[in-house]
C-alpha cells in the first residue's frame, strides 16, 4: 500500500501507524478478562470459574478425557492455512519414536532454506490435484457443534469430568480439531486431499474431529489445550484467532512467517516452525514436546494471556486509534 502511494505520488498527511486487531468483548468476557459485559454476578473472577464448566461440557460432548491433549486450528480449509501439513505433523508425532523434546525443541527454527518454494509447490498440489471419488459431506466427518455458552456455564460442578487417575504417569493422547467445515472459502480439492490422507492413516483419522463454520468459538477455545496457526503465506497479516486463543490461555504453535511471528514470542507464548515441508517435522517435535510437558503448556498459555491483557483487548485498539 505504501509502495502504491509512492507510485501514484500520493502524499500522506501523517505517518502511517499499525493498529492490531483485538479480542472482542464477547470472547474477553468468557475468557475471564474485565470488560464492558461484566456485572456483579458475572465478574471476571466468576467467569474464570464458569469457563472451566464450559471446558468440561465441551470436552464431554467431544468424547475427550483429561488424558487427551486437544489441538485446534480454526480457519477456512485450504492450502494457505496448512491443515494437511498439520495432519502430517500429527501423524509423525503419534507414530515416530520420541522426536526431539526438551531443550532440543528450542533449536528447531534452524531449518529455513527453500521453505517458500516448497510451500508454493505443495499449495499447487493441493489446489490442482485431480478429483477423487471422496464424499466430503459433513455426514462422513466426526463433526462437533459448539456448546451453547450460556447453558454450559450454568452446569453444576458435580458434572465436571474427573481427573485421569492412574498408578503411573501416562503420556497424553493427541487429538486434533479442524474447522471450518462448510466455509465458502474452503477449497474442495484440498479437502479431498486431506480426506485421502486420513483414509491412509487410520490411527490418525480416529483422532481427528471437525467443526462447522461458526462465530460461537468460546467453547472450542475453552475445550482446547493447544492452538495451531499453520498459515503458509507471507501474506498472512494479523491472525485474530491467534490472540483469541492466547486470551483463553492456549500456547500457540505457529509458522515463522507473516504476522504470526510478530504475535507469538518463541519459547514464551508458544513455539514457531518454518513454513512448508521443512516445518512438518519441527511442528511434530513441538507437538510431542507439549504432549510430554503439560507444565510448559500451562506456562506458555499463562504468558499468552498476560500478553493479551497488555496489548490485545478492545481498549488497547481504541487507544491506538486515538493516538
pLDDT, one tens digit per residue, over 52-103 is 999 999 999 999 999 999 999 999 999 999 999 999 999 999 986 544 444 4
**pLDDT tens for residues 26-35?**
999 999 999 9
Q: How confident is the model at residue 111 (pLDDT cuts 50, 70, 90)?
A: very low
Determine the pLDDT at residue 169: 52
Instruction: Give the Cα separation of 100 and 107 in Å (integer).
Output: 10
Q: What grid cell was written down for 284?
A: 511434530
Instruction: Give the Cα separation of 93 and 164 in Å (integer).
Output: 22
Determine the pLDDT at residue 219: 97
CATH of domain 19-150+172-322: 3.40.50.2000
Determine the pLDDT at residue 12: 87
Task: Name, in order, each residue with C-beta under 8 angstroms of 214's C-beta and a sequence gap of 6 or more.
Answer: 145, 146, 179, 180
- Could you identify the residue written with the cell 521453505? 115
Determine the pLDDT at residue 164: 32
Segment 259-285 shows an average pLDDT of 96
In the DSSP assignment, the letter for residue 146 is P
From its phi and psi, is residue 117 left (phi > 0), alpha (psi between -120 and 50) or beta? alpha
In the DSSP assignment, the letter for residue 27 is H
Alpha helices, H only, the chain: 2-7, 25-31, 44-62, 83-95, 115-128, 149-152, 188-199, 202-205, 218-223, 240-247, 260-263, 278-292, 294-311, 314-322
- Could you identify the residue written with the cell 468468557? 30
Determine the pLDDT at residue 145: 66
- For the ranges 182-196, 222-236, 260-274, which has the lowest average pLDDT? 222-236
Domain ranges of the chain: 19-150+172-322
The pLDDT of residue 311 is above 90: yes
In the Cβ-directed half-sphere of 164, how many Cα atoms lie within 13 Å? 14
The pLDDT of residue 241 is above 80: yes
Determine the pLDDT at residue 161: 35
**pLDDT tens for residues 67-79?**
999 999 999 999 9
Segment 211-229 shows an average pLDDT of 95
The pLDDT of residue 47 is above 90: yes
Residue 199, exposed/middle/buried by CB under 10 A (0-12, 13-18, 19+)?
exposed
Instruction: Give the Cα separation of 198 and 193 in Å (integer).
Output: 9
pTM score, two decimals? Answer: 0.78
Task: Name, in order, each residue with C-beta under 8 angstroms of 252's C-beta and a sequence gap of 6 or more.
Answer: 226, 227, 228, 229, 242, 245, 246, 260, 263, 264, 269, 270, 300, 304
**Mean pLDDT score of the chain:** 82
Amino acid at each position: 500500500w505504501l509502495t502504491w502511494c509512492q507510485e501514484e505520488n500520493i502524499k500522506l498527511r501523517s505517518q502511517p501507524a499499525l493498529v492490531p486487531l483485538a479480542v472482542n468483548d464477547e470472547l474477553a468476557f468468557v475468557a475471564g478478562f474485565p470488560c464492558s459485559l461484566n456485572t456483579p454476578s458475572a465478574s471476571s473472577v466468576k467467569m474464570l470459574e464458569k469457563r472451566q464448566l464450559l471446558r468440561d461440557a465441551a470436552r464431554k460432548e467431544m468424547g475427550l478425557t483429561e488424558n487427551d491433549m486437544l489441538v485446534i486450528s480454526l480457519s477456512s480449509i485450504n492450502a494457505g492455512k496448512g491443515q494437511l501439513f498439520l495432519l502430517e505433523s500429527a501423524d509423525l508425532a503419534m507414530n515416530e519414536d520420541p522426536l526431539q523434546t526438551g531443550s532440543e525443541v528450542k533449536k528447531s527454527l534452524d531449518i529455513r532454506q527453500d521453505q517458500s518454494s516448497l510451500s508454493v509447490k505443495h499449495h499447487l498440489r493441493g489446489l490442482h490435484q485431480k478429483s477423487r471419488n471422496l464424499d466430503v459431506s459433513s455426514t462422513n466427518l466426526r463433526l462437533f457443534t459448539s456448546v451453547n455458552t450460556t447453558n454450559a456455564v450454568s452446569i453444576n460442578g458435580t458434572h465436571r469430568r474427573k481427573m485421569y487417575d492412574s498408578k503411573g504417569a501416562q503420556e497424553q493422547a493427541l487429538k486434533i480439531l479442524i474447522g471450518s467445515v462448510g466455509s465458502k472459502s474452503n477449497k474442495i480439492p484440498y479437502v479431498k486431499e486431506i480426506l485421502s490422507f486420513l483414509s491412509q492413516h487410520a490411527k490418525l483419522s480416529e483422532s481427528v474431529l471437525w467443526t462447522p463454520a461458526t462465530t460461537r468459538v468460546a467453547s472450542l477455545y475453552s475445550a482446547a489445550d493447544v492452538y495451531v496457526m499453520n498459515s503458509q503465506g507471507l501474506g498472512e497479516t494479523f491472525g485474530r484467532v491467534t490472540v483469541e486463543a492466547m486470551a483463553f490461555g492456549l500456547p500457540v504453535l505457529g509458522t515463522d512467517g507473516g504476522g504470526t511471528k510478530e504475535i507469538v514470542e518463541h519459547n514464551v507464548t508458544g513455539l514457531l516452525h518454518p513454513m512448508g515441508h521443512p516445518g512438518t517435522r519441527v511442528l511434530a517435535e513441538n507437538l510431542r514436546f507439549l504432549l510430554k510437558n503439560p507444565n510448559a503448556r500451562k506456562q506458555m498459555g499463562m504468558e499468552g494471556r498476560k500478553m493479551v491483557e497488555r496489548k490485545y483487548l478492545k481498549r488497547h485498539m481504541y487507544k491506538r486509534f486515538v493516538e
